[in-house]
Structures are given as structure tokens and as C-alpha cells.
Amino acid sequence: MKVSCRKKIALNSKKEAILIPVYKNMNSIKHLTGKRIDDEINRIINSDYFNYKTKEIKSFYMEINKKLKKIYLINVPKELEEYRYYMELGNKFAKICRQDNIHSFSVLSFEDLAGEKKDFDHIRSFIEGLHFGLYDFSKYKSKKENFEIEEIEVITSSTKLKKYMDNYAEEIKTLFSCVYSAKDLINSPASDITPETFCRYVAEKIPENVKVTKYDENLLKENNMNLIYTVGSGSINKPRLLILEYNGNPESDNSVALVGKGVTFDTGGTNLKPTGSIETMKTDMSGAASIFAVITALAKTKTKTNAIAYLPLVENCISHSSYKPGDIITSYSGKTVEVLNTDAEGRLIMADALSLAIEKDPEIVIDVATLTGACVVALGSHCAGLISNRKFLAKNITDISYDVSEDIWELPLYEGYTERIKSKVADLQNIGSKKREAGTTMAGLFLREFVDNYPWIHLDIAGTAFLEDEHPIFGTAATGFGIRLLYYFIKKYYTSK
């Protein structure tokens, strides 16, 4: 989908449709639309046809340049709202475009309507919301939908807005191609996405400027990555570890370490998940899919940063070779772990990956995982959990999350609970001794044991990665949550100017 920005009036649009934001008691906007359209808008918004309901969209036809053109009016507040409002508008309008078979349209910028010339992220947020609304996963349907929007034209009177959109239009397109790739991975069935086929998918999609290293089950064993190896030992689809290295700033020794949980299907192991909890466990590799998308986006946009992604990939199944409660495993770090629950497997594979990541002396370690049901209980399905060992990091990423409408909430690394992950027979145990208390914090305390006090952010996306019910921005099924958040976070704080 092409995004363009032009200084013109709506009357001169050559697209199939025109989207014009309006509000109650609005003054004339003929300098933005042209007199004919402005007169028709005033007639309609002062009639009973338009009710000024929140995000109301109504349409009418006008003959323009001897062609019948559809014009949509969308109700917006007079003053610019927070960004998520415009993302929701974008998602809603995407559905209308699909319904009305609109393949190109012009949109009058919200900033022009409000007379705002400083902040241009409202029209950008609308376009990002539109991208979310346009996503369709029809790979496994016999009747596939081929609808797409060919071009969005932003109409403005501002030279600054045109320059802004010209700079970012390609970035938005690239970023969402990566979001879509991750969503496709997460939505696909576990029969198609195993540790090995995940690796093949990455090999097909990854840019040439990213180095790919793959550890198979033999290399994992040889290199003492025993937690990853053991969790994956019960499946015929053997475990893998992918390392993706992007060197976008060769003049710097600094790097960002990214770790994503990749359980391609989670039965719970010997601690088998019950019906009602197991059906969507193909999504337990959402962290790995998200991190793959982030490093791909950094590489495709040639962001001036260095990043290394570590993706531990396993199927947590039951067989004669599965690990069992009571087993004690020596991790890559040398710390021993007593397994008390085989359904707390994500933190095990993440532990080995985190230990490997800090060997490169990164500036920051960021991990993403569908880690705990406790996080969903605490925060629901629209908000991810955040844990960090640095307060400034928690604030910085929370500020970004507000701007991109991907909500996170900081949960504590409560020191008083540290003893609860200490085992009586090993160094650590993989669940807390108080089994129904503070599950997300327990998992965070466990992971912290493997980051050696490096600056660290942990995102628990157990609730946000895959949605059963419709979200006003992300829709249903795989959301791609965290990809935009981490891309913009790294770009802002870990990129050389």
C-alpha cells in the first residue's frame, strides 16, 4: 500500500473516495476542500443525516470532474485527541473500505482541520490503525480474499506535514510488512510451525544484512544449553536456537540483545494443560515471532543500531523422553534448576537464551514472552506486563507504549519473594513455593537470575499476543503486540544519530 502526501485541495483528488474529518459547529474549510465540497459538507452536517456520534462515518456521492466520487465524513473532536483515538478510526475505516470495495482514497489531515502544525502523529496513527484493520489471514481458506488498498493520499496545506509524511511513508509500509509476517506465524497451526519450519520461515523472510546462526538439537547439547534441549526433548520436532545478528552501526561496540520465547506448541508437558487452556497454544511462540519482526524491521529500514536476537524454539510435548517434575537440569549459565512444573517451560528456555545473550556485553537486554497466565489474571487481555531492573527503562518504554497505543503496566520485582524461587535441592526452582501467588513476579525473579544485572526489560504478552474478542485497533487473533513498541523504543534510545 502506497502512502503519499500532497499539498492540494480535496476537490482536486483523483482517488476513488475522499475522507473528510468534521466536527459540530465547524467553520468553513473550503481552503482545504474547495467551495463545492465545503458547501455540500455544511448541508449534510447540519441535517438529520449526520448525528455527531463518536467516530460516526457517513457517506454521500458528488460528481467531481465528470466522475461520481464517494465522500466520507467522519466525526472527530474539535481538539486533537490522544493517538489511539485515530488508530481506532483507521481500523474502522479499513473495514468500510473493504465493505465498499474502495481501493484508493484521499484523507484530509486531522492536523490541518485542528490548525495544529507541530505534532503530525495523528494522521500517522490513523494510517497505522488502517494497516491493522486491513490485515487478513485467509491462507487456509478455500476462498481467499484479495482485497487491498493501493494508495492513501494525505491532503494537507502544510509543507511541514508533507515533509514528515514523505519521510515516514516508506517506514510505515516496511514496519507493517514485518508485523504481518509475525501475525502470519502466530496464526498458523502448530502442525505447520514447528521449531524447524519456524527457522525456514525466518530464512525466507530475513533481509540479507542479517546474519543467521542455527543451533540444532546436537549443537544445543554440545554447548550445554540444557534447558532448551530438555524442554524440547519430548517432541519428535526437535528444539532449535536461532541467532539473528544485525550490525547497523559498525562504528559502535554497543548492541541491543533481544530474546523471544518460541514454544511452537505447549501441551504443558507432564503437567498437561486442560481443555479450555490448550486450544490456542500454537500462539506460545508469539515472543519469538515478535522479536523476529523487530530485528527484520530494524534491518529493512537500515536503522543505525546493532541488535542480536535469540530465539529458543521448542515444542513442549509428552512422550517417553519428556522431562518430568522433580528433574534437575544444569543451565547454560551453570546454575541448576529443579523443575516443579513442566508447564512453566518458557522461563527455562528463556534462561539459557538470556545467559547466552549477556556474553556479548549488550547495552540492554529485552525479552518478550507469552509467559504467565497470572499476567492475564492481573492485567487482562489488552495490557501486557512489564518487569525491569532499572526504573528509568520502565519509564522510557512506558512512555513509548502510550504513544503507540500498546499498553503495558509495570509489575514489581519484589525482593521479599526471592527466596520463593530457591530450591532445597538445586540452585533454583522454576515456580514459586507459594504456588498461587504473584506468578508473573515469580517468573520475573527467575529470569533475573540469568541477566547478571545487565539493564533488562521483560514484557509478558500472555494476554495481548492473541485475542479472542475484537479489539478496536488490533482486531482478533494474532495482534503483533510489542513489535511497534520495541521498534520505536530502540529507534529512540539505542540508535546513533
Please state, in angstroms and rounded to a whole number, the distance separating the CA atoms of residues 371 and 463: 9
Give the Cβ contact number of residue 433 at 10 Å.
15
The DSSP bridge partners found for residue 329 are 337
Burial class (CB in 10 A: 0-12, 13-18, 19+), 123: buried
Please state, in angstroms and rounded to a whole number, the distance separating the CA atoms of residues 101 and 116: 32
Count of residues in the chain: 497
Cβ-contact 277, 380 below 8 angstroms: no
Look up residue 335 and give its amino acid. K
| Selection from 266, 368, 268 nearest residue 311 by Cα | 368
| Selection from 289, 486, 290 nearest residue 386 by Cα | 486
Please state, in angstroms and rounded to a whole number, the distance separating the CA atoms of residues 358 and 257: 8
Cβ-contact 205, 197 below 8 angstroms: no
**Which residues belong to the active site?**
273, 347
| Selection from 393, 400, 445, 475 nearest residue 91 by Cα | 475
Place of cell 539493564: 455
